[in-house]
Structure 1
Amino acid sequence: MVETTRLPLLGALLLILPLLAACDEAPAASDTPAPVAPVSFNQQIRPVIEQKCIACHGCYDAPCQLKLETAAGLDRGASSMSVYAQRTEAADPTRLFVDAQTTAEWRERGFFSVIDSKRGLEESLLYRMLELGRAHRFEPGERLPEEIALGLKRDNQCPAPDEMDDYAEEHPLGGMPLGTPALSDDEFNTVRTWLAQGAPPGDDRVTLSEREREQVRGWETWFNRDGKRQQLAARWLYEHLFLAHLYFDQGEDRKPDHFFTLERSLTPPGEPVRPVATRRPNDDPGERFWYRLRPVTGTLVHKTHITFALSDAKRRRMESLLFDTPWEIDTLPGYSEEEKANPFTTFAALPARARYQIMLDDAEYFVRTFIRGPVCRGQIATDVIRDRFWAVFQDPDHDLYITDPDYRARVSGLIALPGQEDSLLKLGPEWIKYTKRRNDYLRERAEAYRAEQPQGPGWNDIWDGEGSNPNALLTIFRHHDNSSVRKGLIGDYPLTSWVMDYPLFERTYYSLVANFDVFGSVSHKAQTRLYFDLIRNGAEQNTLRFLPADTRKQVLKNWYQKTGQLKLLVSYEDVDTEVPTAIDYHSATPMNEFNAGLLSQFGALNVRPDPINRCGGDNCSRADATALERDVEQALSAIASQPAARLPVVDHMPEASLLLVDGDGEQAVYSLLRNRAHSNVAFMFGESLRYQPEKDTLTVYPGVLLSYPNFIFRVAHDDLSAFAGAMQAVESEKDFTALVERFGVRRTQTDFWTHFHAPLRYMEAHEPTQAGILDLNRYLNL
């Protein structure tokens, strides 16, 4: 009995033992890693970069030249060479998609990878920097430690992979994103997994619709026509559109599917674009090329997103302007230094009216190229202009350069532009030479207008936009080390306004855009800056022609106070005080009266009426404002345009801030722009010595009127009165700090990135064609 009982048990054990052995040899189910799905750069990594990286790493001034708008920029990596540097000799350009085409070519140019993790994650600079950013968390809502340097004066460290240990030890708070909340756990794990998988590359290619391909074919055919007249016109257009983000305007208020750049390509239409890699758009291409439209890839960055609409109507307009008037040319101009220096003689055969009118039709675009192009970066580059001024244009029918061929032939040789010489030793002689030519030109110009208009200029001498074009009225803001421009006359009456004729407009464009080399020497950049000073003075002198003759010197003296008087004696041509103006004046403040006249004479063109900053009664909001906006504008009108002497908070405000106002399911966005007053803007250095801070004011206007916010304030609708009251109550730095702590969005806030990108969402909703990620590099640690 006992034996029969044991047999079944023994059999059971014999059956179970092999299974137990097998379990002992096999790994536990929990030890087997689950298969990890491949991480997609486009779908999973790019959104992280757009949310927390591109705000600092875009355009020429991206730290360490790490440009992250495209997958190609991430693959190219970083460099220790700074684009914006004081050089005695020009540097080799490093333009993405232009100066090298492959990763190997960029490595030969000194760029090193930030994503290479073949030997482990510790080899990836991107991983190490993000990891360092997570290792040191900042106290939410508090100011950053003082040892974290911010802004343009920051000395960016660009460690190669084998230098990262030293960097982490010396800069423990220097992880990325710099001085803001770190990547979330999910974001960091996604990036880490992608790097561990070998960083599979992204795809920057775009797919055009059939309609877009048809438009591209039509425009490329038009640009590449045979015939010397067509070739000269195409060259002039290319030199004026090479910075543009072109789009096909369908007349709809929505973001275009794609933007394009106009390129000189070594390949004809139908083949992949291979750009001609010259330093400037008017350098000799060296071989045959075709004009091509290439799609803009990657993420749009506001500061480089300079849009220009293409349409069938615009092509017909340009065709008519360029070719309806008969003209001939036997020999096309070349690309010599002399020809690049003087677009007026180079394109002399091209009808001057056509050139001017094409620029007038899209004046905001052309002024924006001055401002958002590579030249406009840093205080020295921008201190030649006032902090806010209005710009209008001389009517083509009243511009002697357009209407008088003999006058045009006499003066064209005098308005060439400096900057072709890179030698530091030639800086002084070049400056003296071009200053003399400019002043000779002004004397010739004054004499010609005196003979043509003995009664002086009147309102009909200012371009009226042909009755409907809002590009006729512009406002330009300077934000210390950068600038912005918008259609319309915004803000209180400015100290100065510019009346630009064609020679002024074209010289500004070629000086600051076509002929400017961001990789050039200090001599080249200084010549550019110094000549723009003469252009500003020329625009001011042209404006003075519209004021009473006996007031001009006093007005000019007010613009050039103190040391500015020396510049008037040494550099500038005397202002005319004899020829009268055809405008009637009735006050002792003719400049204010002129500005008021611009508003009354051309009010129908003013697309940005401004009762906020020029409130003349109880109602200080725009007629088309929403209910939320009316409340905002009424509340903020109390602080708008008030001098710092009466409103001390202005003296504590950054140059360019944004205000987010949250209503019931709606958010309004306003720009708060500080206008610094100066005794004069006539010198390259010593700007702080010319400040008049008691005269500073604040311009308040709806929308995003800037690319580089210095700070963001956020206010609930119910707290509008409290915010305006707190602004009015500020008397000291302590008061302003309390204002910031209550209403400010500091870099350390846990939801900082949500608020930082709120203006982008606003632009996407209200002006989608202009929307792009704002730049964080100038955001202050208030």
Structure 2
Amino acid sequence: MSYRVVISIALLLFSWGAVAQSPAVTNGISYTRDIQPIFTEKCVACHACYDSACQLNLGSGEGAARGASKIPVYDGDRSQAAAPTRLFYDAFGKRAWQQKGFYSVLDAQGSQAALMARMLELGHKAPMQPNAKLPEDIVLGLNRENTCAMPAEFDAYAGSHPKEGMPLAVTGLTDQQYQTLQRWLASGAPIDEQGLAPSAKEALEVVQWENLLNAPGARQSLVGRWLFEHWFLAHIYFKDGEPGHFFQWVRSRTPSGQPIDLINTRRPNDDPGTQIYYRLWPVQGVIVHKTHITYPLSAAKMARIKSLFYNGNWQVNALPGYGPERRANPFTTFEAIPAQARYQFMLDNAEYFVRTFIRGPVCRGQIATDVIRDNFWALFQAPEHDLYITDPNYRGQATPLLAMPGQNDDVGSVLSLWHDYRDKRNAYEALRRDSYADLRPPSWSSLWAGNDNALLSIFRHFDSASVTKGLIGDVPQTIWLFDFPLLERTYYQLAVNFDVFGNVSHQAQTRLYFDLIRNGAEQNFLRLMPANSRDDYLDDWYQSSGKFKMWLDYESIDNDTPTALKLDPKDPKRDFAMQLLTRYGELNANPDPINRCDGAYCSRPNIDPDLQDAEQALSRLTSRPAAGLKVIDQLPEATMLRVETASGQRVVYSLLRNRAHSNVAFLIGESLRYEPGLDTLTIFPGVMSSYPNFMFNIPAEQVPAFVDAMENAKDAGSFERIVDRWGVRRSHPQFWQYFHDLSRYIHETDPVEEGVLDMNRYQNL
């Protein structure tokens, strides 16, 4: 190791505040040792991310000291963009946050105790009946209108909401936890939290990666910028790093070896206004699952990046600037970088990129999710069959048409901007349709099959969604096929360019364009189907009002050019899916016998026989329409089943409700397009939502009885008896044990993905 690298590591460790300090202990209580663990167990599940009630984020000392705000992050009606309030990003320290409108929940107010102390006392005085349904007058979920009472308003709040202290509508603190928090608050709520620091080995890797992204030269600078824009949401971890250590890419005014001087622009591709350096800093605070989009870095990854981007003789004549036009079209901004390198880089970690715009840190995503169906599969076009990669003439024609809206947020121009970008997109779709019609018909080689990122399953849970490797569930109604222009546009439109603090114009343009992206992914897939079946599939996907939308906004499909795939004409989509599973079985990360029974066997092989029997029984609930399985009408979107054997082994299954729609082509009125009689269930091992809506705890030997009861539940009363027997209500004495066991299960099955789950959507069944 060189002397220069050693010095860099030392400076790096110092700049991250890694100097050891003994915690400040008051009355024997340490925030780090005693307080944050209580917040993590009983508070973070509701108080994290942008949708924290009153923006009170209790995942760190910084968030607790910041306090609360009456200004909501999610406001679909605001005409002016709001000032961003990203923790660890837009301000630091209590005083700076109070200048942005936050107020303390920790400070005593004269003779009055701190607001948090009073809220906790209100909750502790009103314990709930064990595992009973909560009173209907306690509004829960995203429809709750948070009062965000300031200290002077607490008495009025308590008078109006005597049963709504903290933690809200859930089994509360133990007596010991309550007393610890009250003693801490009474002593002035001192915070001794130290920032997470990397190990010496991690610091060495940080220096190496920062050197790569900050390497001198025009070509290196352009690649560094492109990589940063594609990594800014990632929770980076190193292959041999410390468990629980994650890092995030930021832009700094200072180079490696100096303390980071953060450039906190609204978007990662806004003009920084100064010379920048790409830096890795540790992710601070409690890791929560909904914002935890992981990405591994290693020596092999660095070699891959160097191979993709630094081989060849391509040159950069002039570095692009910043601004709305550069944000709108990354294809022109980065056109000097070989398109093949950009696409292959995204394919290598396709699950990460789809997660950034399907799951993502926005935390309340109905503006995007109501444009997608409740379950579908995603596939990717092979680079060697992507005209944008292989044909420079086609690329030159297509690039100007790939610009995306949302950069101009003038409310009065929404319709004109939408029509302009819609027309550009449709011109691109016409170019693509006609150009691909001149090629050889698509075959199996048209699909990318490079690694297990090639086959993905997406499940929507109303205003959130999840992405999982492998093809899970029964054959879905729609399948998406991404090529490079579609994958990159989706990422930029929904991740890089989307501003959660933006106004109604920005959000509407984003939503409307994503509708076109979904339609483009569907059209790409239809080219694989027999030509004479395509119109029928399109009619099925766009029923009723969807036909008007097809006429109004979408480019017509190619229903003439044949496919080279040999598919059963009676049901070509299902035959395609079955052949896909056979051909690419080695890439299918999650084989699914529960939802796609192979003969009489509907369980995974090589597991505990009691669990095999349980899965065999659970399979009776899958892939059946709600018209014949009435209990589906009673179920929320994402239910967790905790199944425990007599030997103490337990497995968590996700029971997902797939809502059927006549179409998903409009911004409003989604419930008018529900087709509840066609809803189905998918059951699969694992925690497939960051936001559990409910949980059942079922001994393995009782699973057949549970399934019998579900099959025979014809109304709300019979379903409530199921909840009484096996349900874990918010008031259950062991609620938190079972709830956090979901995170422990993630740790046991895929430890890098572990994070605290969100209970804002946990229902009162």
Specify the alignment match of 2:20 in structure 1. none
Q: Would you say 1:463 and 2:441 are equivalent positions?
A: no
Q: Is the 8 A contact 2:356 2:495 kept in 1?
A: yes
Which of the numbers 223, 227, 249 marks the counterpart of 1:233?
223
TM-score by length of 1: 0.93
Code of the residue aligned with 1:755 in structure 2: it is Y
Specify the alignment match of 2:9 in structure 1. none
Q: Would you say 1:76 and 2:53 are equivalent positions?
A: no
Which of the numbers 151, 157, 180 marks the counterpart of 1:190?
180
Q: Is the 8 A contact 2:290 2:363 kept in 1?
A: no
What is the alpha-carbon distance in structure 2 between the residues aligned to residue 272 and residue 89 of structure 1?
34
1:372 Cα offset (Å): 2.5
Q: Would you say 1:654 and 2:639 are equivalent positions?
A: no
What is the alpha-carbon distance in structure 1 between the residues aligned to residue 368 and residue 192 of structure 2?
36
Specify the alignment match of 1:777 in structure 2. 760
Give the CA RMSD over aligned residues.
Answer: 1.4
Deviations, residues 475-529 of structure 1 (Å, cap 9, x unaligned): 0000111100000000000001011100010000000000000000011000000
1:207 Cα offset (Å): 3.2
Which of the numbers 51, 57, 67 marks the counterpart of 1:67?
57
Q: Would you say 1:739 and 2:722 are equivalent positions?
A: yes
What is the alpha-carbon distance in structure 2 between the residues aligned to residue 226 and residue 577 of structure 1?
50
Structure 2 counterparts to residues 110-509 of structure 1, below 5 A: 110-117=101-108, 119-120=110-111, 122-250=112-240, 256-375=243-362, 377-453=364-440, 456-465=441-450, 469-509=451-491
1:625 Cα offset (Å): 3.2
1:174 Cα offset (Å): 1.5
Deviations, residues 555-613 of structure 1 (Å, cap 9, x unaligned): 11011111111011111011111110010122311121222222122111001000100
What is the alpha-carbon distance in structure 2 between the residues aligned to residue 628 and residue 317 of structure 1?
44
What is the alpha-carbon distance in structure 1 between the residues aligned to residue 307 and residue 211 of structure 2?
17
1:40 Cα offset (Å): 0.4
Which of the numbers 519, 527, 539 marks the counterpart of 1:557?
539
Unaligned runs of 5+ in 2: 1-24
Deviations, residues 694-721 of structure 1 (Å, cap 9, x unaligned): 1111000001111000000110122111
Residues 127, 376 of structure 1: CA spacing in aligned structure 2 closer, same or farther, 3 A cutoff?
A: closer
Code of the residue aligned with 1:459 in structure 2: it is W
2:204 partner SS: helix
Specify the alignment match of 1:98 in structure 2. 89
2:438 partner SS: helix
What is the alpha-carbon distance in structure 2 between the residues aligned to residue 55 and residue 170 of structure 1?
25
Unaligned runs of 5+ in 1: 1-34
1:373 Cα offset (Å): 2.2
1:375 Cα offset (Å): 4.6
What is the alpha-carbon distance in structure 2 between the residues aligned to residue 605 and residue 104 of structure 1?
52
What is the alpha-carbon distance in structure 2 between the residues aligned to residue 338 and residue 220 of structure 1?
28
| Of 618-627 and 133-142, the range deviating more from structure 2 | 618-627
Specify the alignment match of 1:618 in structure 2. 600
Code of the residue aligned with 2:273 in structure 1: it is G
Specify the alignment match of 1:45 in structure 2. 35
Deviations, residues 152-208 of structure 1 (Å, cap 9, x unaligned): 111011111111111111111210111012211100110111112211113141232
1:452 Cα offset (Å): 2.5
Residues 623, 373 of structure 1: CA spacing in aligned structure 2 closer, same or farther, 3 A cutoff?
A: same
Specify the alignment match of 1:708 in structure 2. 691
2:631 partner SS: helix
2:453 partner SS: helix
* Higher Rg: 1
Q: Is the 8 A contact 1:659 1:713 kept in 2?
A: yes
What is the alpha-carbon distance in structure 1 between the residues aligned to residue 558 and residue 41 of structure 2?
55
| Of 265-274 and 567-576, the range deviating more from structure 2 | 265-274
Deviations, residues 639-683 of structure 1 (Å, cap 9, x unaligned): 111111221111211100100012222111000000011111111
Code of the residue aligned with 2:500 in structure 1: it is V
Which of the numbers 580, 600, 605 marks the counterpart of 2:582?
600
Percent identical residues: 53
Q: Would you say 1:691 and 2:678 are equivalent positions?
A: no
1:636 partner SS: helix
Q: Would you say 1:517 and 2:499 are equivalent positions?
A: yes
Specify the alignment match of 2:660 in structure 1. 677
1:471 partner SS: coil
1:615 Cα offset (Å): 0.5
Q: Is the 8 A contact 1:152 1:778 kept in 2?
A: yes
What is the alpha-carbon distance in structure 2 between the residues aligned to residue 449 and residue 361 of structure 1?
25
Q: Is the 8 A contact 1:628 1:668 kept in 2?
A: no
Specify the alignment match of 1:3 in structure 2. none
2:313 partner SS: coil
What is the alpha-carbon distance in structure 2 between the residues aligned to residue 377 and residue 597 of structure 1?
36
Specify the alignment match of 1:753 in structure 2. 736
What is the alpha-carbon distance in structure 1 between the residues aligned to residue 755 and residue 209 of structure 2?
25
Q: Is the 8 A contact 1:72 1:204 kept in 2?
A: no
What is the alpha-carbon distance in structure 1 between the residues aligned to residue 384 and residue 568 of structure 2?
28
